[in-house]
């Protein structure tokens, strides 16, 4: 029975995607040299920069980060002085999110680092395969979101 499981993880998309994420995070940590920002925080900062005044609900939709995790990330970024949250005029329960000047500076510094990490990851593949890999990965994400949006967003 043990042989039945031998090598199974090496062909498991779930396991391999998780391991790839772990490796990418480790590479990111090396690149930022123990800095105080995470890849998810950068993703949130990027999305806020591209959509000033965005609501937290919309941020959940755009980033795929679940609501409670996103709220925690936003609180941390606000404590660091990287963004402002304010109640919206339309819905007093909702927050609109904007970058601070310091948030813009951190994002300007972090973006080239994030780009280097992405490049290092893609360098694991032959150059002609990289675009196809990204397309396939995007297809996987889009398909899984349609099949089970709650499960995918609850990451």
Number of domains within the chain: 1
The string of pLDDT tens digits covering residues 65-90 is: 988 999 999 999 999 999 998 876 77
Percent of the chain with pLDDT strictly greater than 70: 88
**What CATH number corresponds to the domain at position 68?**
1.10.10.10
Place of tokens 């499960």: 151
| Nearby residues of 128 by Cβ (< 8 Å), 6 or more positions away | none
CA–CA gap between residue 23 and residue 25 (Å, rounded) = 5
Rg (CA), the chain: 18
Q: Which tokens sit at 126? A: 């032959």
Residues (pLDDT < 70) of the chain are 1-4, 6, 34, 88, 91-93, 148-155
Give the range of the structural domain holding residue 15, as residue numbers without chain letter: 2-124
131 lies in some domain: no
């Amino acid at each position: 029975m043990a042989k039945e499981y031998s090598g199974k993880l090496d062909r498991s998309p779930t396991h391999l995607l998780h391991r790839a994420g772990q490796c990418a995070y480790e590479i990111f940590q090396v690149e930022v040299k123990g800095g105080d920002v995470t890849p998810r925080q950068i993703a949130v900062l990027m999305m806020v920069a591209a959509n000033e005044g965005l609501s937290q609900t919309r941020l959940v939709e755009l980033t795929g980060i679940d609501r409670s995790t996103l709220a925690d990330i936003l609180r941390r970024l606000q404590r660091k002085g990287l963004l402002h949250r304010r109640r919206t005029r339309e819905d007093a329960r909702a927050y609109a999110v904007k970058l601070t000047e310091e948030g813009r500076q951190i994002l300007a510094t972090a973006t080239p680092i994030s780009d280097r990490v992405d490049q290092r990851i893609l360098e694991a593949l032959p150059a002609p395969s990289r675009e196809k890999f990204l397309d396939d990965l995007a297809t996987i994400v889009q398909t899984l979101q349609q099949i089970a949006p709650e499960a995918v967003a609850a990451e």
